[in-house]
């Protein structure tokens, strides 16, 4: 069973929705502070809602209208027309180390890649490349917080929570735009 996060108030409600895109169904969830969870390849809207409740402890409210602008941004991204997302983020679903890694991911330019070693050095923790990789794997906002832009030092893809085929798809999309 997944750990519930103790820093989420039991009465906190998130709005959520699911939308279809070239990599499947994507679930979006936001608090009043911003987007807190994005999940790719969700089986259904109901399954995504259940994950928000069971794994994260949120109360939920299906509200697609809250995400209209963000979904339009995703549509533009998948057409190769958008290079960065403009939507408030709520990154509290991680440790302070993970949050530092995720914030640093936002500095990697569209279409570029960086290595895990580069990431470790850039957060002033040069021996933490493996921990950086683990933090990437826990990224609650993939694509928007572009963990897909981090590869091994030799250029090999490394892992990706959504599957390396999606990582390659995203990198190819960004290279050709």
Alpha helical stretches, state H, 18-163: 45-54, 68-78, 96-105, 116-122, 129-137
In a domain? residue 158: yes
Of 78, 106, 131, at which residue does a domain stop?
78
The tally of domains found in the chain comes to 2
Q: For the domain that residue 17 is a member of, what is the CATH number?
A: 3.30.160
Residues 52 and 109 in one domain: no
147 catalytic? Reply is: yes
Q: CA–CA separation, 169 vs 80, rounded Å?
A: 12
Confidence at residue 2, expressed as pLDDT on a 0 to 100 scale: 47
Q: For the domain that residue 137 is a member of, what is the CATH number?
A: 1.10.10.10
Q: CA–CA separation, 45 vs 27, rounded Å?
A: 7
Residues 25 and 70 in one domain: yes
In a domain? residue 38: yes
In a domain? residue 2: no
Confidence at residue 1, expressed as pLDDT on a 0 to 100 scale: 37
In a domain? residue 46: yes
Residues 70 and 137 in one domain: no
Residues 109 and 61 in one domain: no
Residues 156 and 104 in one domain: yes
- The model carries a pTM of 0.91
Which pLDDT tens digits describe the chain residue by residue (177 residues)?
A: 344 454 666 678 999 999 999 999 999 999 999 999 999 999 999 999 999 999 888 899 999 999 999 999 999 999 999 999 999 999 998 899 999 999 999 999 999 999 999 999 999 999 999 999 999 999 999 999 999 999 999 888 988 888 899 999 999 999 986
In a domain? residue 84: no
Residues 48 and 100 in one domain: no
Of 78, 104, 124, at which residue does a domain stop?
78
In a domain? residue 8: no
Domain housing 27: 13-78
Residues 67 and 101 in one domain: no
Q: CA–CA separation, 114 vs 135, rounded Å?
A: 15
Of 78, 107, 123, at which residue does a domain stop?
78
Q: CA–CA separation, 145 vs 101, rounded Å?
A: 10
Confidence at residue 55, expressed as pLDDT on a 0 to 100 scale: 86
Q: Which of 38, 51, 129, 147 is catalytic?
A: 147
Residues 165 and 102 in one domain: yes
Residues in the chain: 177
Residues 110 and 61 in one domain: no
Confidence at residue 8, expressed as pLDDT on a 0 to 100 scale: 62
């Amino acid at each position: 069973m997944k750990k519930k996060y103790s820093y989420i108030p039991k009465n906190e409600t998130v709005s959520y929705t699911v939308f279809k895109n070239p990599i499947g169904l994507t679930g979006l969830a936001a608090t009043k502070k911003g987007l807190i969870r994005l999940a790719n390849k969700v089986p259904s809207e109901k399954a995504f809602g259940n994950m928000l409740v069971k794994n994260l402890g949120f109360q939920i409210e299906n509200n697609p209208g809250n995400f209209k602008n963000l979904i339009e941004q995703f549509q533009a991204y998948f057409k190769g027309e958008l290079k960065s997302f403009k939507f408030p983020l709520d990154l509290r679903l991680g440790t302070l180390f993970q949050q530092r890694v995720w914030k640093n991911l936002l500095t990697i330019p569209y279409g570029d890649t960086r290595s895990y070693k580069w990431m470790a050095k850039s957060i002033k923790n040069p021996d933490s490349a493996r921990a950086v990789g683990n933090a990437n794997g826990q990224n609650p906002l993939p694509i928007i917080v572009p963990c897909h832009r981090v590869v091994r030092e030799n250029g090999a893809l490394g892992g990706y929570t959504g599957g390396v085929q999606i990582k390659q798809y995203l990198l190819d999309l960004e290279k050709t735009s």
